[in-house]
Amino acid sequence: MNSATDSDAKEDSLGDTPKDAAQGVKQARGTSSSKASSTEPSRAAIFLDREMSQIAFNWRVLAQAEDKSIPLLERLKYLCIVGSNLDEFFEVRVASLLAQNTIDGELVQHPAFLSTLKRISSECHQLTERQYELLNQEILPQLSKKGVHLLRHSERNDAQRAWVKSYFEREVRPLLTPIGLDPAHPFPQVVNKSLNFIVSLAGKDAFGRGTAIAIVKAPRVLPRIIKLPDELSVDGQSFCLLSSVIHSHIADLFNGRDVINYSQFRVTRDSDLWVDEEEVKNLRQALQGELQTRQFGAAVRLEVAKNCPEDLSRFLLEQFSLDQDRLYPVDGPVNMVRLSEIVDHVKQPSLRFPPFSAKAIGKYSHTDIFTLLRKQDILLHHPFQPFQTVIDFIRSASLDPNVVAIKQTIYRTGMNSDLMESLITAARLGKEVTVIVELMARFDEEANINWADKLQRAGAQVVYGVVGLKTHAKLALVIRREEAGVLRHYAHLGTGNYHPSTTRFYTDFGLLTAHPGIAAEVNEVFIHLTGLTKPKKLEYLWLAPFALQPQIIKAIRNEARIAREGRPGRIIAKMNALLDESVIRALYAASADGVKIDLIIRGACALRPGVPGLSENIRVRSIIGRFLEHSRIYYFRNDLAHDVHLASADWMNRNLFRRIEVAFPVLEKSLKKRIISEGLDPYLKDNVNAWVLGSDGQYERKKARSKQASFCAQQYLMQQLGSLSASEDE
């Protein structure tokens, strides 16, 4: 597993070492003397490469698929997750790099940029190759021994072949439209990530011409995984791929012609949406139009079957204007993500993780939640505690005659949502409902547009945040008229999305509170976002893009000051990614002053830990487990004040300056202790799912020492907070 060593795709990372990075400690601490600047090392010496770090994350996910202690279907699921992650990496990150370095349709031939592309290509090819090795050599054969069979044409018996042929004639062939290429039939538009076939033909067509190439598109309405009837499966369940069905009968589509060669293929395209937000009058309408063209963005990757003839792959590369480095021959389906459909079909418990469900929080279930919140805050730790409490909070507000207004941000919520239905109900009952819907939530744009339309029809006030900034903050506010006619505010603030499905496998924290200061400031944020006013000075909330980064750096520098004065300085932070250079430099400076820093960074990390003189007091680890680690926690010891902030924001430039984000304090001591004991300490003890980052950018899996007991943070939390029984845990 390799990781290169810079934080910018435009910088060449080769030639510098962590030793050189020690020279940058004065710059990290803010020294600006001419001598210091003349000896400042390259950025590659003090920052790790973003793209390589992101790819390294996928190697860690792939390690889960390699782990023989994990049930087989879960291992298959991890393979699919890697496939999905790589799709998005190419659709967004690689596409962005190419777009930034393209002039008049030609790639800039800058050595550093080309070197970056080469490193990305090398890593992604290795990763993809290992994916399919695992699929073909371990996971599919072992699933077959357990009675789950994915059958190629050569592995199907006569009865199975007869059924597949009947299925092809009945369900598939009527929907296929083979296109023979000639001047009247040019190469067709190929949809992003769709399944297609290229066919090489011999002989003459019906009109006496020698058209040599045809394209067949697989209709998207057809399932990619087809389950054979149970009576055709002797010892379990049998499946076949749609691609295999079409392969087996592709010659039937070209009557009178000889099929010489053929291959499945899939092209990945640039999928980032772009609208000129200063020019459009209606962002929703403009975005709806842009969604139609997303499927046909610039091509960035071509996948073909491993046995695809060179002339056919070369022809496809020319059609999509791609070079050889962006060709990915694969030994299996070109879209591995679709294999997750097998997981949905197979019900064998032994092939899955032991069942787990969040334990109901009994003391809240039959209590007026508003009465309870006036007495205490409620801290929820998902998925170990149910998200249903949040849904009930909004539902209670929608039906409560004393509630006069509900305000909420929506980033991701899914196509079906009880929470959104409650907001619609509230609007229909005459409450003032304001919803800030982020239309540019990547890959959730269509769902959000649909909800925005339904909410408006119900009478809710829907706004789309601030032009040019994504509204990523997770906030809900309920305003209730209570005794003596006084309006009281109740708020929910979270680290994750209002998406009931993802809360079952993302780890996140949420805080329900009636704290007058915090709840009032949540209302100020809503007024700021809807009225586009300058936000008031906030005492409790750290709001991006105005104050979040300065407040983070201020808290880091405060720990450095404490350490310089001879007292313990301590920082623990947990998030998805750490890329912002100003924050990293502040952490380097704090480390040099003696602050002990632990960072739990699931994904990309540009900080080099453990470099003498620069970051020797910083440790970085990544946790990859059953659940996706998603919570953002900032802890500063602050002379035993134990400041704890939860946030929607990672320490990335985009979160700190190009999004509306909120970090919020946890004030009750008991809840602070819970966050530390549930959200931080177990992850620092983990020696099962933890990977430790070295100063060279390499990750090494943490293992229990010879006499040390194994400890898995997520397993511990399931046992402590959830309903995973001892027998299920074995």
The CA-based dihedral angle spanning residues 392, 396, 398, 400, taken in that order and rounded to the nearest 10 degrees: 180
Q: Which of 472, 492, 528, 645 is catalytic?
A: 472
Q: What is the DSSP letter of 435?
A: E
Beta-sheet pairing, 378-382 with 690-693: unpaired
Q: Which residues of 326-337 are buried (b: 16+ CB within 10 A; e: fewer)?
A: bbbbbebbbbbb
What are the phi and psi torsion angles at 498 (to 5°)?
-85, 60
Q: Is 167 annotated as a binding residue?
A: no
Give the span between the Cα atoms of 217 and 370, in whole angstroms.
56
CB 655, CB 361: distance < 8 Å = no
DSSP per-residue codes, 225-261: EEEPPGGG-TTSEEEEEHHHHHHHHGGGGSTTSEEEE
- Burial class (CB within 10 angstroms; exposed 0-12, middle 13-18, buried 19+) of 460: buried
3-class secondary structure for 88-107?
Answer: HHHHHHHHHHHHHCEECCEE
Secondary structure of residue 589 in the 3-state scheme: helix
Known active-site residue 472:
yes
What are the phi and psi torsion angles at 207 (to 5°)?
-110, 15
How far is Cα of residue 534 from the mean position of the Cα atoms in its chain? 32
Q: Is 85 annotated as a binding residue?
A: yes
In order of 27, 56, 294, 530, the CA distances from 39 in angstroms are 10, 31, 46, 48
Q: Is 294 annotated as a binding residue?
A: no
Q: What is the DSSP letter of 605?
A: B
Q: Is 564 annotated as a binding residue?
A: no
Give the span between the Cα atoms of 87 and 128, in whole angstroms.
11
Give the span between the Cα atoms of 240 and 244, in whole angstroms.
7
- List all residues 6 or more positions away from 657 whose beta carbon is below 8 Å from its beta carbon: 544, 545, 549
3-class secondary structure for 353-384?
Answer: CCCCCECCCHHHHCCCHHHHHHHCCEEEEECC
- Burial class (CB within 10 angstroms; exposed 0-12, middle 13-18, buried 19+) of 207: exposed
CB 164, CB 156: distance < 8 Å = yes
CB 461, CB 433: distance < 8 Å = yes
In sign, the C-alpha dihedral spanning 139, 144, 146, 147 is positive
- Burial class (CB within 10 angstroms; exposed 0-12, middle 13-18, buried 19+) of 35: exposed
Give the span between the Cα atoms of 244 and 252, in whole angstroms.
14
How far is Cα of residue 79 from the mean position of the Cα atoms in its chain? 15
Give the span between the Cα atoms of 447 and 422, in whole angstroms.
17
Q: Is 602 annotated as a binding residue?
A: yes
In order of 381, 424, 464, the CA distances from 478 in angstroms are 21, 15, 20
Give the span between the Cα atoms of 37 and 23, in whole angstroms.
10
Give the span between the Cα atoms of 79 and 63, in whole angstroms.
9
Q: Is 699 annotated as a binding residue?
A: no
Secondary structure of residue 704 in the 3-state scheme: coil
In order of 67, 143, 147, 242, 351, the CA distances from 347 in angstroms are 21, 13, 11, 22, 8
CB 179, CB 201: distance < 8 Å = no
Q: Which residues are catalytic?
A: 472
Positions at the binding site for ATP:
85, 506, 602, 630
Positions at the binding site for Mg(2+):
412, 442
